[in-house]
Chain A
Amino acid sequence: MKFNSLATAVAIVSAAALGLSGCAAGNSEPSASSGEGATGGTLTLGSLADIKSFDPAQAHLGHQMPIYQAAYDTLIKRDADGTLSPMLATEWSYNDDNTVLTLKLRDDVTFSDGAKLDAAAAKANLDHFLADNGPDAQQIALVSAVDVVDASTISITLSEPDPALEFYLTQAPGLIGSPAALATADIDTVPVGSGPYVLDAANSVSGSQFTFTANPDYWDPDTQKYDKVVFKVLADMTARTNALVSGQIDAALLDPKTGAQAEGAGLTLTEYSTDWMGLFLFDRDGAITPELKDVRVRQAINHAIDRATILEQLALGQGEVTTQIFNKDTAAYDAGLDNAYPYDPKKAKSLLAAAGYEDGFTLRLPLLPGTEAILAVVTQQLADIGITVEQESVPQANYVADISGAKYSAAWFSVFQGDPWVVIKQQIATTAGYNPFDSTSPDLAAALLATQTGGDDSAELAHAVNEYVVDEAWFAPFFRPSQMYYSNSEVVEVVPQTQQAVPSIYNYSPVN
């Protein structure tokens, strides 16, 4: 009898499980507007990455940018072409030595919990960001004080000039949430901002889907184009492609290989670049690989790389070959530096010989899982000029820690090309994570100082920095890969956002 009742219980559980998949025939999720409030219906986006926390201080913006932008406004808005325009701050200006930035705030903004935006709220956010040790905390590490000037004005004081501060206020440090909510544990999962949309927490699953509905009290109705915005986290490339091709999502980032399938399905491509990829030649003082101290060796490596072939074979030609690390949209860029080291193995060998290494040498490179093909090509092309590459497998989770921890004298990577000062802070300055051996020189230091204190001319002054690191062959860049963003042009119009992983939430409009 006991067994029979157990069997019944099992049967009920099984039936319940089947019941979940048991009744009703498939009416798929409605994708059209419900017709109230805003007019744009539903926008469904595929996101490559999950969000870690909705706490602005714990935000890291890359692929997650539009998710945060749905919930939070930023102090300054970065337009599609990279120009900075007013958002929560209506105007801002620096003092004479670029160490105090004063921002005037809107006075008609309320957060989704009913609190009003004022100078004290903005200060509370920046203080919280500085204190909370989040992923992007170092972006405003130079901020020494945030002060309330009057009810709608704050001033941000820097310990030394930071030409990227205004840019950073369009990023994680600029996200402004309701001060009362920032202190609570709920902020990790439920954002309380003033953004165009409000999270529908009941219909969101971390790591899978975030559903937002239009914020009924939004101060800028022109920015709020949809009734509902759904982000589906689709980390797997195949799943993302399938979801897009079958119409489950309206837009998503794919890659050159899956792009062909998307084009076959009639989707529209939006192309832009965000990264450069290639070799970092970290050990410019020869600490672990003495050969790399000689600039001719670093230049030889640059001449040994057949960039056009690598681009064609590994990225199906989707990108632009380059030998510089600064992006095309900044004044630091120099078209001439895109081909500073043409493919020339003969010249590479003679440079090596001139440096006294005609017999070559051994270079140890870390191997990031998934980049076997790239490293195989690098290994081959360097072998052609006599450099033996020893590959060392490094688990994905350790890769950044290892290469920024001075474990390797050189490494392959794909990194962000932001504003010139952002690039400098991440890849060139002695404090940069990707300058693990703290390489520098008096000439470079002078060019860096000029850039840092250059105010409005900062980006142009960074040109000298660009020239220096190209001449000195600090890097061996291969190309700027194209971000291949596909969308269904029958339902959505997408404007690319320069130097950003995916377009901002403001860049989508419904097609009527």
Chain B
Amino acid sequence: MLTFLLKRLVAGVVVLFAIACLTYTLLYFSSANIARNILGEYATAEQLTAKSAELGLDQPLIIRFLGWLGQALTGDLGHSWFTGQSVAGALFTRLPVTLALIVSAIIIIAILATLLGMAAAVKRGWIDRVVQTAAVIGDAIPGFVLAIILVTLLAIQLSLFPATSSISPDSPASAWVASLTLPVIAIVINGVTGAAQQVRSAVIKQLEKDYVRTLRSRGVSERVILFKHVLRSAAPAGLTVLSLQFIGMLGGVVIIEQIFALPGMGALAVASTTLGDIPLVMGVVLYTVVIVIIVNLLVDLANGWLNPKVRVS
């Protein structure tokens, strides 16, 4: 178990380093106009040269990367070139918003998808048809369209929720709830149907297995079969979908965050990438990769816990 964790840890560090190299190189090749972006449209050529020198943009790629890496290894991700705030500080204020949004959505999706998927698999009939149809519709409607519809109906027409985020450092928990409700609903509608579909087929597959017949023949109750045995065996499929959804959301919530003006990572990632704010982009990328690695590890561990067959010895 410990060696497994160690191996994963080492692999994670390797992945992190590889992605850092790759991202930095890509940013290097698109960094021609950073000084112009910082200084704006009326800056003179001399100003631009001075700014480039100040930021080290006139240095070769390898020197710049090693400089950044050296700092990063000491835990210092530097300061944003545009706003001057520390990268760690910027991430620290924004990460909780995005994580609260995604984690809440994933938990709700997990619960609803399990219930719907199992209901569809066990009862079949009309429930199944509804889940199947909804899966297609839910996948087909983009999350941002749902978001706009929700804002128009529930925030502007009925004034039940704030139309845009009222989250700020001083806002009470209630502001978080109110501000996250609509975005979470938009994400859940979009994500739950696909996950339910996966749970449904996994459960159906398990119900056809021999061990279910054996259990039934021994007189084990249908409820125990379903929740203790079938669900446990079917869960890995659902978990994999959820982890993929989670990782997809890290990038996918950008538009949702924009529509609701949520002060999350999405807006930060978009703005820093378009402007060429290299320290900030690197910070966003590193944190995202770390989250992805952690999520994958958690899913592996959870799968092992659910299903002894895939456990590592």
Binding site for B on A (CB under 8 A): 2-4, 6-7, 10, 13-14, 17-29, 50-53, 55, 58, 60, 133-139, 141, 185, 188-189, 202-209, 211, 232-236, 238-239, 242-243, 245-246, 248, 265, 396-398, 400-401, 404, 426, 431, 433
Q: Which of A7, A238, A433 contacts B148 (CB 8 A)?
A: A238
Complex: A235 Cα to B100 Cα, angstroms? 22
When the two chains form their complex, are residues B163 and A248 in contact, meaning their CB atoms are under 8 A apart? yes
CB-contacts of B163-194 with A (<8 A): 163-164, 166, 168-178, 180-181, 184
Complex: A181 Cα to B274 Cα, angstroms? 31
Residue of A25, A51, A234, A242 with most partner-chain B CB within 10 A: A242
Contact A404:B176 (CB < 8 A) given known A20-B96, A397-B275: no
B304: CB under 8 A from chain A? yes
Complex: A25 Cα to B181 Cα, angstroms? 12
When the two chains form their complex, are residues B298 and A188 in contact, meaning their CB atoms are under 8 A apart? no
Complex: A24 Cα to B178 Cα, angstroms? 10
Complex: A447 Cα to B54 Cα, angstroms? 39
Contacts of B261 in A (CB 8 A): 208, 232-234, 236, 239, 243
Residue of B nearest to A396 (CB): B274
Contacts of A185 in B (CB 8 A): 79, 84
When the two chains form their complex, are residues A189 and B42 in contact, meaning their CB atoms are under 8 A apart? no
B50: CB under 8 A from chain A? yes
CB-contacts of B251-278 with A (<8 A): 258-261, 263, 267-268, 271, 274-276
CB-contacts of B132-182 with A (<8 A): 148, 151, 155-156, 159, 161-164, 166, 168-178, 180-181
Contacts of A236 in B (CB 8 A): 258-259, 261
How far does the Cβ of A8 sit from chain B's closest Cβ, in whole Å?
Answer: 12
Residue of A18, A22, A26, A188 with most partner-chain B CB within 10 A: A26
Nearest 7 Cβ contacts at the A-B interface: A188-B84, A208-B263, A3-B305, A242-B163, A246-B163, A135-B40, A17-B103
How far does the Cβ of B236 sit from chain A's closest Cβ, in whole Å?
Answer: 14
Contacts of B302 in A (CB 8 A): 3, 7, 10
Complex: A58 Cα to B43 Cα, angstroms? 12
Contacts of A242 in B (CB 8 A): 151, 155-156, 163-164
When the two chains form their complex, are residues B166 and A3 in contact, meaning their CB atoms are under 8 A apart? no
Contact A189:B47 (CB < 8 A) given known A21-B104, A248-B166, A397-B274: no
When the two chains form their complex, are residues A203 and B163 in contact, meaning their CB atoms are under 8 A apart? no
Residue of B nearest to A62 (CB): B40
Complex: A452 Cα to B51 Cα, angstroms? 29
Contacts of A204 in B (CB 8 A): 168-169
How far does the Cβ of A423 sit from chain B's closest Cβ, in whole Å?
Answer: 12
When the two chains form their complex, are residues B168 and A208 in contact, meaning their CB atoms are under 8 A apart? yes
How far does the Cβ of B114 sit from chain A's closest Cβ, in whole Å?
Answer: 15
When the two chains form their complex, are residues A29 and B263 in contact, meaning their CB atoms are under 8 A apart? no
When the two chains form their complex, are residues A207 and B41 in contact, meaning their CB atoms are under 8 A apart? no
Please choose the segment from B14-22, B29-37, B62-70 that sits at the chain A interface, where 4 or more of its residues have CB less than 8 A away.
B29-37
When the two chains form their complex, are residues B107 and A18 in contact, meaning their CB atoms are under 8 A apart? yes
Contacts of A134 in B (CB 8 A): 39
B122: CB under 8 A from chain A? no
Residue of B nearest to A139 (CB): B42
When the two chains form their complex, are residues A203 and B104 in contact, meaning their CB atoms are under 8 A apart? no
When the two chains form their complex, are residues B173 and A22 in contact, meaning their CB atoms are under 8 A apart? yes
The A-B contact count (CB < 8 A) is: 197
Complex: A35 Cα to B15 Cα, angstroms? 56
Q: Which of A55, A243, A433 contacts B84 (CB 8 A)?
A: A55
When the two chains form their complex, are residues A401 and B36 in contact, meaning their CB atoms are under 8 A apart? yes
Number of chain B residues close to chain A: CB under 8 A: 70
B71: CB under 8 A from chain A? no
Contact A20:B100 (CB < 8 A) given known A26-B178, A202-B169: yes
When the two chains form their complex, are residues B263 and A207 in contact, meaning their CB atoms are under 8 A apart? yes
Contacts of B38 in A (CB 8 A): 52, 135
B93: CB under 8 A from chain A? yes
Complex: A329 Cα to B177 Cα, angstroms? 49
How far does the Cβ of A262 sit from chain B's closest Cβ, in whole Å?
Answer: 11
Contacts of A426 in B (CB 8 A): 42
Contacts of B59 in A (CB 8 A): none
CB-contacts of B74-94 with A (<8 A): 79, 82-85, 90, 93-94
Contacts A236-B261, A401-B32 aside, 8 further interface pairs with beta carbons under 8 A come to A26-B177, A134-B39, A202-B169, A207-B90, A234-B164, A243-B164, A401-B36, A433-B41
Contacts of A137 in B (CB 8 A): 39, 43, 47
When the two chains form their complex, are residues A135 and B168 in contact, meaning their CB atoms are under 8 A apart? no
Complex: A140 Cα to B156 Cα, angstroms? 46
When the two chains form their complex, are residues B100 and A2 in contact, meaning their CB atoms are under 8 A apart? no
CB-defined A-B contacts under 8 Å, sample of 9 = A18-B107, A28-B166, A29-B171, A135-B40, A188-B79, A242-B151, A397-B37, A397-B274, A433-B43
Contact A28:B162 (CB < 8 A) given known A206-B85, A400-B36: yes
When the two chains form their complex, are residues B104 and A205 in contact, meaning their CB atoms are under 8 A apart? no
When the two chains form their complex, are residues B163 and A243 in contact, meaning their CB atoms are under 8 A apart? yes
How far does the Cβ of A126 sit from chain B's closest Cβ, in whole Å?
Answer: 17
When the two chains form their complex, are residues A29 and B83 in contact, meaning their CB atoms are under 8 A apart? no
